[in-house]
């Protein structure tokens, strides 16, 4: 004897994820550019790693209940860092120092942006690139670490951004207080 149960539920096909020619975006799908100065001088960036993320801190309010009744809009902080090869970093620092309006040839107070595009360059029929923008960056930390061996010298850089756009979308519906690309 067989006992069955049919609740009339249909789960359909498994989720489909966006692929490029059957492949997901990989490290070779990324193109990074530093946009510097009013003329937006572009420097193509080759690096070992790039990490960027927003973090929103909210506060919940409780009334006379066990569950929260509301939460604040909070504060959003943005972080970005990269490990960039010394030669590419030197190009960026030179361009930033050249854009110094005081004429002191300093790079630390110059604001710039990083454009990160994800695309498939091997397929001419692929969709448009997805581009994230890390804006309002300043170089606040440079950490040089070298070791004996065949690896290229790379420097860890804290970009200290003011905002990040994910394919032109921002995290909050409030307007950004800084110019957008």
Average pLDDT over the chain, rounded to an integer: 81
Question: DSSP alpha helices (H): ranges in 7-156?
Answer: 86-98
Q: Does the structure show a pLDDT above 90 at 11?
A: no
Q: Does the structure show a pLDDT above 50 at 71?
A: yes
Percent of the chain with pLDDT strictly greater than 90: 35
Looking at 4-129, which runs of residues are DSSP E strands?
A: 30-36, 41-45, 47-57, 60-61, 70-71, 75-85, 112-118
Residue 38: partners with Cβ closer than 8 Å, 6 or more residues away: 99
Tell me the three state secondary structure of residue 88. helix
Percent of the chain with pLDDT strictly greater than 70: 75
Looking at 2.30.110, 3.30.1490, 2.40.50, 2.60.60, the CATH number of the domain 27-57+70-166 comes to 2.30.110
- Under DSSP, the state recorded for 28 is G
Listed residue (109, 111, 129, 132) closest to 40, CA to CA: 111
Q: What is the pLDDT of residue 181?
A: 46
What digits encode the pLDDT tens for the residues 42-55? 777 788 899 999 99
Task: Give CA–CA dist 24/122, Å, rounded.
Answer: 13
Looking at 86-167, which runs of residues are DSSP E strands?
A: 112-118, 130-137, 141-144, 154-158, 163-166
Would you give the end-to-end CA distance of the chain in angstroms? 69
Domain ranges of the chain: 27-57+70-166
What digits encode the pLDDT tens for the residues 98-154? 888 888 998 989 999 999 988 876 665 566 788 999 999 999 999 988 888 888 888
Q: What is the pLDDT of residue 176?
A: 64
Q: Order of strands across the sheet with 41-45?
A: 41-45, 30-36, 112-118, 130-137, 163-166
């Amino acid at each position: 004897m067989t006992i069955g149960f049919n609740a009339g539920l249909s789960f359909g096909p498994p989720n489909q994820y966006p692929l490029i020619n059957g492949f997901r975006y990989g490290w070779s799908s990324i193109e990074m550019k530093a946009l510097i100065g009013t003329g937006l001088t572009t420097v193509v960036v080759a690096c070992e790693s790039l990490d960027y993320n927003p973090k929103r801190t909210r506060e919940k309010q409780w009334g006379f209940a066990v569950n929260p009744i509301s939460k604040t809009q909070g504060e959003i902080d943005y972080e970005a860092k990269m490990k960039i090869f010394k030669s590419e970093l030197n190009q960026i620092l030179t361009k930033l120092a050249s854009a110094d309006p005081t004429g002191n040839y300093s790079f630390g107070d110059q604001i710039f942006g990083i454009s990160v595009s994800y695309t498939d360059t091997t397929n001419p029929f692929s969709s448009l690139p997805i581009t994230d923008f890390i804006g309002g960056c300043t170089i606040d930390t440079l950490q040089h670490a070298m070791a004996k061996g065949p690896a290229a010298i790379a420097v860890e850089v804290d970009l200290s951004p003011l905002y990040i756009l994910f394919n032109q979308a921002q995290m909050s519906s409030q307007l950004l207080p800084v110019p957008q690309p």
